[in-house]
Structure 1
Amino acid sequence: MTEGESAAKAALLEKVVGFAAQGGIAGKSLREIAAGIGSSHRMLLYHFGSREGLMAAVVAFMEARQRETMAALATQSASPGEAMRAQWQELTSPRIRPFIRLFFEIFGLAVQGTAGATAMLDELTDPWLREGAAVAAREGYELDIATIRLGVAVTRGLLIDLLAGADPEEVSAAHARFVDMIESALPTSRP
């Protein structure tokens, strides 16, 4: 792929992400998405290979953005717990909800082996583990990978519960309890 093609693909992806933020794209066809961003379904196919490939690219884009948010919140927060609570607020905001739904839709397709979606599995958790460890180390905390993996799993599980219609206050209370448990295992001050 040439530099120009790469830039065109990135620009298309930005438009699709913006379109998705307005009303979601999970149930939309490639033609509907293309019309919504002022492009053609052929351009989307050229750059992303399939509808599932496009959806997986949107999920990867948003996952990367959320990891950037995690790093920024860690820098701005007084404690890991404060950062985790702020990240939860971000993840449960109505603005992010369409992307959370899309994440689980594409995950479902990926584990079923749907072409275009399976690439998601290669980067499902490892980037979170790497970035989580790096953020903790920069902030002066040593977290083992098992604890970070637990955090990813608990967060994703609670997001499923939330999307399934559980009481948002109860789900957030469960997240807060988890954060309290993690905080109690950390030193009270940075080394």
Structure 2
Amino acid sequence: MVHHLEHHGLAGLSLSPLAEAVGTSKRMLLYYFGSRENLLAQALAASRPDAEAMFGTVHDAAGLHSAARALWEAITVGRQRGLVRMLLQLLSLATTQPEPYGALAADAVEVMVGPIAAAYVRLGHAERDARVRATLLVSGLRGLCQDRLVTGDTDRIDAAAHRLIEDATSPAG
């Protein structure tokens, strides 16, 4: 299912072709997932990086830096790289169609920002500053992923991501 969504996109998603691709019926998809939005939520949850696991054990600046680098690798060359396409589509759809996509998009952002912000708090940052820094890291890396997908300039984008990570995870940064 996730593979189908990664390759066919979210805009104009019809459950009938998805059901056919995964060997079931539209009725069964709705039975199991309840709604198209819940199906999308479950697909995103099943394929996104586990930020809680990646950042949950961070207790120093080196660990934060390492976790951020691991996140970048996961979303660009790792198993979750296909998720980035779905996530970017979801965020775009949420700006023009907030009713069906807004809450799902907000959750997709928070599930990344929350655990990273908690890591910053453990490093001594105030809650607001921690959320600002986590937002900078998450949104910056996501924007760089979009640039990478659009331009294909992996060398430039990887260098920019490493600079962002250095700046966002340095004790003085």
Q: TM-score, normalised by structure 1?
A: 0.70
What secondary structure is seen at the aligned counterpart in 2 of 1:164?
Answer: helix
What is the match of residue 26 of structure 1? 9
Q: CA deviation at 1:179?
A: 1.6
The structure with more radius of gyration = 1
Relative to structure 1, the CA distance from residue 157 to residue 59 in structure 2 (aligned partners, 3 Å threshold; closer, same or farther) is: same
What is the match of residue 106 of structure 2? 122
The superposition leaves residues 7-40 of structure 1 with CA deviations (integer Å, 9 ceiling, x where unpaired) of xxxxxxxxx23x448x634276422321232221
Uncovered stretches (5+) of structure 1, i.e. residues with no partner: 1-15
User: How many residue pairs were aligned?
Assistant: 165
2:21 is aligned with 1:41: no
2:79 is aligned with 1:104: no
Q: Partners in 1 of 2:99 and 2:131 — Cα distance? A: 30
Q: Partners in 2 of 1:115 and 1:155 — Cα distance? A: 26
Relative to structure 1, the CA distance from residue 115 to residue 146 in structure 2 (aligned partners, 3 Å threshold; closer, same or farther) is: closer
The superposition leaves residues 30-86 of structure 1 with CA deviations (integer Å, 9 ceiling, x where unpaired) of 223212322211122342423x553343224434x43244236748x9532122111
What letter matches 1:117 in structure 2? Answer: Y
Query: 2:144–2:161: 8 Å Cα contact kept in structure 1?
Result: yes
Deviates more, 1:118-127 or 1:176-185: 118-127
Uncovered stretches (5+) of structure 2, i.e. residues with no partner: none
Q: CA deviation at 1:135?
A: 3.1
What is the match of residue 167 of structure 1? 153
Q: Which has the higher contact order (CA 8 A, sep 6+)?
A: 2
Q: TM-score, normalised by structure 2?
A: 0.76
Q: Partners in 1 of 2:63 and 2:150 — Cα distance? A: 31
